[in-house]
Amino acid sequence: MDITAASEHVGAIVSGVDLRDLDDSTVASIEQAWAEHGVLFFRDQHVSEDDHTAFAERFAEIDVNKFFTPVATHPQIAEVRKEADQIVNVGGGWHTDHSYDVEPARGSILVARDLPPSGGDTQFLSVGAAYDALSDGLKDTLSRLRAHHSNEHIFGKDAGYDEDDERFHNADAVGGATHPVVIRHPQTGRRLLYVNAAFTTHFVGWTREESKPLLDFLLGHIANGDFDYRFEWKPGSVAMWDNRSTWHWAHNDYHGQRRLMHRITVRGEVLEG
């Protein structure tokens, strides 16, 4: 197995490994690289739904998504699907998954199933590198803040998605949680800037109006700081990302074409400042 950094700040390409046949030592090496690089990319894999599930369970218990349509034969796997006649895609903007949960998911493992001829790349970035680039004064201020995260505006009854869109369900299962703005990665101890554009609504003890200038600054700093890497999907591609240390963005540049991915999310833990 060979692990090569994909960019300066985030991601690594893993080659020379078959995800269907892993010993404990190889799994440990993958787990360490996952924590260090934030996202791992594998090419030329031939994993079935059973293989996908078994691989995910080597790292943590599976966290079944409350909102996405499950694969009919494998309810632990969520469909990330856009049909040729649909306009809105899933994840079409910078975000991190499940930050609205009290115990945010550790990460997700995405398998390419049906790809458009071109487009549909996924971009990732490092919120650890974004934190490192802040001034010491702002780091000190942020170390004392907590932020509220919610999914109601995304999946609630008044959200922008069409209520008849069968890709999303259980829209009443909405909720929120608060987390430190600066967290430590549970495995590496690295400080991470834990806010995101999709789910972070305001700082605890501040109004939304008071929160907006600082939150907008942080979101812009993360998104525009050249901390990213763009991954081009090909048949047989698999990506696994850490939801605590990365953001991601599924690009919606393949209108009129179908794209189907299978995603498994694995459980995490309470985040500490």
For the annotated catalytic residues, the residue numbers are 95, 97, 248, 263
User: Edge-to-edge strands of the sheet including 246-250?
Assistant: 228-231, 122-126, 246-250
DSSP-assigned states of every residue in 75-103: EEEEEEEE-TT----TT-SSB-TTTTSSS
Cα–Cα distances (Å) from 182 to 65, 176, 190, in that order, read: 26, 18, 10
CA distance 173 to 155: 8
CA distance 178 to 169: 24
Q: Report the candidate in 114, 143, 147, 117 with the shortest Cα–Cα distance to residue 131.
A: 143
CA distance 26 to 9: 23
Consecutive H or E run containing 138: helix 136-142
Largest CA distance in the chain: 52
